[in-house]
Structure 1
Amino acid sequence: MGLYRVRVATGSSFCAGSNNRVQLWLVGEHGEAALGKSLRPARGQEAEFKEDVREYLGPLLFVKLRKRRLLQNDAWFCNWISVQGPGDSGDEFWFPCYRWVEGDGILSLPEGTGRTVVDDPQGVFRKHREEELEERRKLYRWGNWKDGLILNVAGGKICDLPVDERFLEDKKIDFEASLAKGLADLAVKDSLNVLTCWKDLDDFKRIFLCGQSKLAERVRDSWKEDALFGYQFLNGANPMLLRRSTHLPARLVFPPGMEELQAQLEKELQGGTLFEADFSLLDGIKANVILCCQQHLAAPLVMLKLQPDGQLLPMVIQLQVPREGSPPPLLFLPTDPPMVWLLAKCWVRSSDFQMHELQSHLLRGHLMAEVIAVATMRCLPSIHPIFKLIIPHLRYTLEINLRARTGLVSDLGVFDQVVSTGGGGHVELLKRAGAFLTYSSFCPPEDLADRGLLGVKSSYYAQDALRLWDTISRYVEGMVHLHYKTNEAVKGDLELQTWCREITDIGLLGAQDRGFPVSLQSRDQLCHFAAMCIFTCTGQHSSIHLGQLDWYAWVPNAPCTMRLPPPTTKDVTLETVMATLPNFHQASLQMSITWQLGRRQPVMVALGQHEEEYFSGPGPKAVLKKFREELAALDKEIEVRNAKLALPYEYLRPSLVENSVAI
């Protein structure tokens, strides 16, 4: 009984409003009331009205809404509905939506307090939870893009995706316009260079986009330096391969006359300053054939030493894995003739390009985030506190991944056109890399300890990853402790246990033998698992995504393919190097795609800055506020540190980390 104040917020995307009328009902603990006023929602607007309700409703549990079509079904994007109870001091109830409302069925929005099954002993929300998950499991089905790979959402076209997973117009327009611009630039470059013979490394400057990145220009000018070569293993586009050596690798074979080198490596090993980057995963991968021309791959091993000043310098490069009955592979040294040593480093950088884009970026970033997204939508209802915690970090992931599968790594896609692992090798590499998807490798404290990078002062990736992980962990802990008072509450949450099992056992094809849990037995376990999910979808993806334009725009520093086999002698000339590196078309396409995907995104939500409010009540809002304050403080600390560095490391600055895998 009394006068209720109702506010209804519509999204701001171009088609968010609707010409259809919307009817509302209020559902409380003690009754239900249909509101007499109907709405015609306008884009980007809040509609507000007051309604005198005669029934006594008690605390509100749901708002039900129904969009009645006129001549056509005009979808409506509802952000949220707020209802203030009778009287000046009436409680305000928050009903988050943030989805498209289609058709003319009745949609129930639960009040925004996070509730587990344990929090609902009377079963007030049980039917809603069950019906919502039943509908979601029809929309979000597991698919299998390639046998042997972790699962993805079912569907091969954008229209197959649930409507709430598709890009809104601003994102779609920017993405497709940048793609069109990149292809147009490629056509211009091809036409200008079609009759040109590339004879010198400086010829790559013809396709280099000046003014896009200061660091990319630094790479162009300094890419031949050993210090910059080594720096990239610490802080470049792919800081995930480097590890401190605990012994000399078995594959490193020293031919006669190399005793002094072996002694130097042993000395660095004993001093704890020997590091390695091993690309053995590429061994035996079938290389691509592009326009009837065979491309080539190598499986390098790089041994590096950490200098007292923090520089990481290469000591030796072995390009191939030894074969029984064959002569040992050549060892390339910094003392070799300049072109010999440069070509060896180019082979390493090309191999790193393959491993970065497929293992570190696509598999460990995009596809892992997709497993988390699909499992979350299938197993956690919108009222669940962990759903509310995770959902902002899943925005746009399913569509960007589907676009990757249909454009980048598809048959006749970009990889098939210009990348040496294309033509099927990329799929084989992804399958092999799946065996290395361990739980600990997704958690920076364990991963960095395992790789021996803790305490390496020149590893800014390691420092920033740890600090960002700790910040996210405190945020997760704050939310979890609000909603789970005991370990028993975690154990008894069947929806939560199903979600964990769905990620490990189904999406990751049974990853419990690699440390992933199939159940969560305590608040600490839940915090660690949820922090892993959020860090994977935010900081970890950004750390391997944001550096692409900086490090890959200068093509010789990251060749997408190699057109001659790895050298078997040290008879290398400039002509050999130019004949091995990508041709002008391959280089131009690499430059275009690198610009499109690596540029700063105009439609971007920074970590923790999402506008959607899925939680109601002061507790979660205080936790989120503290998270944002800690992110701002960390951002400032990184800014101050970077001002003192010759090469600033920005890929884990919270203001640049995207809130989800959205590009």
Structure 2
Amino acid sequence: MVDYEVTVYTGDRVQATTLNSVHIKLVGTDGESDRTWLNSMVIFRGSVSTYTVSCPNSLGQLVLIELDKRPLILLPDDAWFADKVEIKSPEDDFYTFPVYCWISDRETHRYREGKALRIFDESNPLGQYARQQELSQRSADYDWDFYAPGVPYTIKADGPSTLPDEVQFSFTKTTEFAFTAATGLLELKLKGLVDNQENWKNLDDINDVFRNKDTPLSDYVQEHWKEDWLFAYQFLNGVHPTLIQRCKTLPKNFPVTDDMVFIPDGSNLSNELKQGNIYLCDYKNLDGMPANTIQGMQQYLTAPLVLLHKRPDDKLMPIAIQLKQTPAEDNPIFFPTDFPYDWLIAKIFVRSADFSEHQINAHLLRTHLLAEVFAVSLLRNFSMVHPLYKLLIPHTQYTLQINELARKQLIGPTGVFTQFTASGGEALTMILERLMSSITYRSLCIPDDIADRDMQDVPNFYYRDDGLQLWSIMFKFVQGVIQYYYKSDDEVHDDSELQIWIGDIFEHGFLSEPQTGIPKCFTTVPELTKFVTMVMFTSSCQHAAINSGQYDYGGWMPNTPATLQRAPPTKKDTTSAATMRETLPPKNVTAQGMATVWLLSRQSSDFVPLGHYLDEYFTEETPLKLQRDFKAELDMLSIAINNRNINLEVPYTYLDPKKIENSVAI
């Protein structure tokens, strides 16, 4: 007889303990062990337990293990979370089998030895068979579902609870998410705001919606929201820094002339355009979209054009706003020199349009829905031993469940976005379809996007500065991992799992549209490296930049109204403070919007920062070292960002690596 020393690591997470009997079978190149009962008592969360599995003869090189569990008599089934299994063979060889998932049924689950293997590395028939069986099961567990015409496909599921255990929220996250949502709604009910359709008589009363939930920046925004510099600053460093672009030639539908705008220091608009000091924000994606009806009242959604000027002191300031795309007598161009409430209400319409463009384009489409596409294709098409699976799986955590929740609670028929925003309901899928027709691969890669918007040298653009550094650090890490496993372009070309993965993304994420620039296959190592960097960046950094500041800038509703209930002014000198209050959403709509952005800005206690890989999917030293180097570089960047922020009146923190979650998890 020969003995194998088997060490089982149970995850240190709530409900990871099991009262069930756990069994293991070792499978090697020269045979397999009997199915062996491991525990004679409870396996506790966080425990490390060692057992002996005896065999008549050596099993050769271990290829996989089989785990299953069964309830003892009179005890119910429960779920068990295993981290990994380590095995010492009679020949003193050590094997690690990463698990990192829940086992909640009575089925037999197979886990491969930890060394990463591409499909053409599988020389052992047993490994080939196990891989084939695994991929067959994965393609059944993670299937595509049609969502709407012209929109990326989603995971096929009948709600969050039907998703496979391995992608569901932890108990901790489930409990905290539900508690935050419930307490927020209860507070609104106790204050009588849920059904209160009155308009605000005094904007300061908005402070009573959520007491003690302000952030330092939300307080700052409340104090300064009317000021032009903060209005402009948000296009650079707010939650939507991806729309603004340098303008060298004015759009034909934005007829601003030199004599209309005031440029300090004796210059004029024509000169400033030539010198590259003029910037444009164009909300044309919203043009012609049907605004929602809320509580029986027609809402209003405009498609503004905004012109901004970089002054000699490097401060960006708005100089002209047109609220609709087509020039007309009843579509005046507003200027800072106009009557104060004319100018303020024009800015409010822009900020409301920005809410819709940000939430639907930058947030929903370009992070949540694309991250879901990347995750589903990864889970469908890669074996757990594939190096790309090991590299990217941490960047998919909770994405499928948060998106399922969003489709039910936010953008579903009774969701908050559907009921209480100007772009909810019928407009949502129409806007998404329009946006999909214009999405490009370059716009998803921050170095290309910054270059295409000609934003390389605008001062005080911290999203750009931090984002480009993050991309560079991430690219270096991804490049190291990929070049370790792919020594030539031919190996990329010959990896069928890799080619099916990108083909699935091209078809179901980008609807087989070649004009997007998304590759439908990979032919070179550099091509693969860039795409994987984009996937990782989108699922972590980009989502953090777009999501984390929602309450900072939206907690004071007048700065980011989700809807407006009066039509935009068609003439100047027709507005007042009363007009402004009547334009802003009523009390219950305000309360629902603020509660939602509060919920979506909260950090869970099981938040995993970028570069922290708690689950050890890799076992080889080279990728493990690359992970350590990646984290070290991120730590250095975090220190530099914090040192910079000390001297900023409005710190930019959303791309601090310590505040970026590894995945789209909220």
User: Do Structure 1 and Structure 2 share a fold, with TM-score over 0.5?
Assistant: yes
Q: Distance in 1 between matches of 2:197 and 2:500?
A: 60
Q: Note the C-alpha offset of 1:192.
A: 10
Partner of 2:642: 639
Q: Distance in 2 between matches of 1:660 and 1:195?
A: 38
- Which of 282, 306, 310 matches 1:306? 310
Partner of 2:294: 290
Partner of 1:537: 539
Deviations 1:532-562 (A, max 9, x none): 1100100000000001011000000001110
- Which of 608, 611, 616 matches 2:611? 608
8 Å CA contact 1:549–1:599 kept in 2: the answer is no
Residue 77 of structure 2 is aligned to residue 78 of structure 1:
no
Q: Does the C-alpha gap of structure 1 residues 333 and 210 become closer, same or farther in structure 2, counting only changes over 3 Å?
A: farther
8 Å CA contact 1:190–1:584 kept in 2: the answer is no
Deviations 1:67-120 (A, max 9, x none): 234455433222111112236xx2321101112224333322110111001222
Residue 232 of structure 2 is aligned to residue 239 of structure 1:
no
Q: Does the C-alpha gap of structure 1 residues 218 and 305 become closer, same or farther in structure 2, counting only changes over 3 Å?
A: same
Residue 605 of structure 2 is aligned to residue 592 of structure 1:
no
Q: Note the C-alpha offset of 1:123.
A: 4.4
Deviations 1:116-161 (A, max 9, x none): 0122244452111111111111111101222221100012312321
Residue 177 of structure 2 is aligned to residue 175 of structure 1:
yes
Q: Does the C-alpha gap of structure 1 residues 243 and 624 become closer, same or farther in structure 2, counting only changes over 3 Å?
A: same
8 Å CA contact 1:16–1:77 kept in 2: the answer is yes
Residue 20 of structure 2 is aligned to residue 17 of structure 1:
no
The residue type paired with residue 84 of structure 1 is K
Superposed CA RMSD in Å reads 2.1
Q: Distance in 2 between matches of 1:78 and 1:195?
A: 51
Partner of 2:49: 47
8 Å CA contact 1:216–1:554 kept in 2: the answer is yes
The residue type paired with residue 130 of structure 1 is Q
Q: Note the C-alpha offset of 1:265.
A: 2.5
Partner of 1:216: 218
Aligned length: 659
Q: Note the C-alpha offset of 1:51.
A: 3.9
Q: Does the C-alpha gap of structure 1 residues 289 and 27 become closer, same or farther in structure 2, counting only changes over 3 Å?
A: same
Residue 656 of structure 2 is aligned to residue 653 of structure 1:
yes
Q: Distance in 1 between matches of 2:57 and 2:260?
A: 91
Residue 184 of structure 2 is aligned to residue 185 of structure 1:
no
Q: Distance in 1 between matches of 2:444 and 2:303?
A: 24
> Which shifted more, 142-151 or 25-34?
25-34
Q: Distance in 1 between matches of 2:382 and 2:178?
A: 32
Q: Note the C-alpha offset of 1:58.
A: 2.7
8 Å CA contact 2:173–2:604 kept in 1: the answer is no
Structure 2: segments with no counterpart, 5+ residues = none
Q: Distance in 2 between matches of 1:309 and 1:497?
A: 51
> Which shifted more, 206-215 or 264-273?
206-215
Q: Secondary structure at the match of 2:81?
A: strand
Q: Does the C-alpha gap of structure 1 residues 52 and 121 become closer, same or farther in structure 2, counting only changes over 3 Å?
A: closer
8 Å CA contact 2:232–2:308 kept in 1: the answer is yes
> Which shifted more, 415-424 or 651-660?
415-424
Give runs of aligned pairs for residues 84-163 of structure 1, distance below 5 A.
Answer: 84-86=88-90, 90-163=92-165
8 Å CA contact 2:446–2:468 kept in 1: the answer is yes
Q: Distance in 2 between matches of 1:644 and 1:282?
A: 37
Structure 1: segments with no counterpart, 5+ residues = none
Residue 646 of structure 2 is aligned to residue 623 of structure 1:
no
Residue 469 of structure 2 is aligned to residue 459 of structure 1:
no
Q: Distance in 1 between matches of 2:661 and 2:401?
A: 16
- Which of 196, 201, 204 matches 2:203? 201
Q: Does the C-alpha gap of structure 1 residues 19 and 260 become closer, same or farther in structure 2, counting only changes over 3 Å?
A: closer
Q: Distance in 2 between matches of 1:618 and 1:123?
A: 26
Q: Distance in 2 between matches of 1:619 and 1:439?
A: 30
The residue type paired with residue 183 of structure 2 is K
Q: Does the C-alpha gap of structure 1 residues 385 and 259 become closer, same or farther in structure 2, counting only changes over 3 Å?
A: closer
The residue type paired with residue 631 of structure 1 is L
Q: Distance in 2 between matches of 1:49 and 1:311?
A: 67
Q: Note the C-alpha offset of 1:382.
A: 0.5
Q: Does the C-alpha gap of structure 1 residues 160 and 3 become closer, same or farther in structure 2, counting only changes over 3 Å?
A: closer
Q: Distance in 2 between matches of 1:68 and 1:259?
A: 76
Taking structure 1 as the reference length, the TM-score comes to 0.95
Q: Note the C-alpha offset of 1:2.
A: 4.3
Q: Distance in 2 between matches of 1:122 and 1:12?
A: 34
Percent identity, aligned pairs only, is: 36
Q: Secondary structure at the match of 2:658?
A: coil
8 Å CA contact 2:352–2:562 kept in 1: the answer is yes
